Amino acid sequence: MVHITTGELFREAIRQETELGKQAKPYYDRGQLVPDHLTIAMLLERLSQSDCARGCMLDGFPRTLEQATALDEALTREGKGINRVLYIKVPEDELLSRLSGRWNCRQCGSVYHQRFQPPRQAGRCDQCGGELYQRDDDRPETVRKRLEVYFQQTAPLIDYYRERGKLVEIDGNKSVEEVAEELLAAVDVP
Ligand code: AMP
């Protein structure tokens, strides 16, 4: 299934210095959410591409109630809808240490952690040999800001999707293998 990550779309736009990238960068750098009108337009444009015609998995979107209702409206117009919403629960101090030790592959996007999931060779991806880098917004002070923004603006979506019978809760405070297994079971759409 196509995997769409709004954070990655923003990182690409910022790397390429597009108009959207220039508008998003100040928010991104401070760990704040990019304004809804920019984020919604970017996401709906991506969803209109042919590879999404048979469905996709959204990651990092929606993050506000306005984004959630815009998504519902756009999908309803096309006779489509959301199957499931996966809520991966992890305690705050654990999130802090996971994000601040995270390393990403520049080439294939694989994710490592300096303590919990180190690569075989420091600075190199096990999968493709690509260079590993640390995201600027994974610095501890920006991570704290991102968590604050999450609790204020994104946490209300848990009830929004629970009330609509879409929410599946996953215990994310387990090993990578156990969480992966729970996630796969949750998306096993018949
Ligand atoms: P992520 O990779 O999901 O942690 O996102 C990194 C950054 O991209 C966030 O801190 C925001 O600045 C921006 N971003 C990603 N997704 C969204 C969204 N749905 N709404 C607003 N801003 C977003």
Q: Please tell me whether the overall predicted TM-score, pTM, comes out greater than 0.95 for this model.
A: no
pLDDT band at 188 (very low <50, low <70, confident <90, very high): confident
- The pLDDT value recorded for residue 178 is 96
Structural tokens at position 87: 């809520």
**Domain map (residue ranges) of the chain:** 1-82
pLDDT band at 11 (very low <50, low <70, confident <90, very high): very high
The top-level CATH class assigned to 1-82 is alpha beta
- Percent of the chain that is helix, strand, coil (3-state, to 5): 50, 15, 35
Give me the mean pLDDT over the 86-103 stretch: 93
Q: Which residues line ligand 1 (CB under 6 A)?
A: 6-7, 10, 27-28, 31-34, 39, 60-61, 63, 67, 137, 146
pLDDT digits (tens, 9 = 90+) for 38-56: 999 999 999 999 999 999 9
Å from CA of 91 to ligand 1 middle: 20
- The pLDDT value recorded for residue 190 is 57
Å from CA of 161 to ligand 1 middle: 20
Of 62, 87, 86, 60, the residue nearest 74 (C-alpha): 62
Are residues 24 and 35 in contact, defined by beta-carbon separation less than 8 angstroms? no
pLDDT band at 189 (very low <50, low <70, confident <90, very high): low
Environment class of 135 (CB within 10 Å of its CB; exposed 0-12, middle 13-18, buried 19+): middle
Residues 6+ apart with CB under 8 A from 176: 116, 117
